[in-house]
A = this chain, B = another copy of it.
Amino acid sequence: MRIGELGQATCVDPETIRYYERIGLLPAPVRRTNGYRAYGLAHLERLAFIRHCRALDMPLADVQRLLHLLDHPLDDCLDVDRLINTHLAHVQGRLQSLQALARQLEQLRGRCHGRHTTAECGILHELVAAAQGEGCVCHDGSAPNSPEVI
């Protein structure tokens, strides 16, 4: 397989594949005489694994660790469990804050009806008031310096 064919087969942009190789996530394949990368089935499977983990929103560093464990089948798998649990906790935390966030945005949405100037806009008023107020997300110490929601 050339890189374009591998990309087709996995729905991954060839530039992304080269990027994975550059950062050491995907092993460098052999080259044809013209310099083109020549991939085999092992590469396809490894790339599919990477993309599946990415679809689970794992950071590439975690994927790297999982790949390493796959390459060392006799290692203790304690790390796998820990990694998944940590990642799940992270995702659940983000779910919580996203839900709170959606609620706030839904409240805002109703406040702008018909044609009017921005001076009369309920959304802008609400945003300004909330930013001054005390009961808002960004002033209650929960996430003071880093919004870090999505």
List chain A positions with a Cβ less than 8 A from chain B: 1, 5-6, 8-13, 16, 38-41, 44-45, 48-49, 51-57, 66, 69-70, 72-78, 80-81, 84-85, 87-88, 91-92, 94-95, 98-99, 101-102, 104-106, 108-109, 112, 115-121, 123-124, 127-128, 130-132, 136-139, 142-150
Contacts and interface: CB of A to CB of B under 8 A. Distances in A.
Q: Report how many copies the assembly holds.
A: 2
A50 to B, nearest CB: 8
7 contacts: A9-B146, A13-B145, A39-B150, A55-B138, A69-B118, A81-B109, A91-B150
B92 A95 contact: no
B6 A147 contact: yes
Contacts of A94: 98, 150
A57 B108 contact: no
Contact of A56 (B51, B91, B101): B101
A117 B70 CA distance: 10
Contacts of A11: 138-139, 142, 144-145
A150 to B, nearest CB: 5
Contacts of A48: 131-132, 138-139
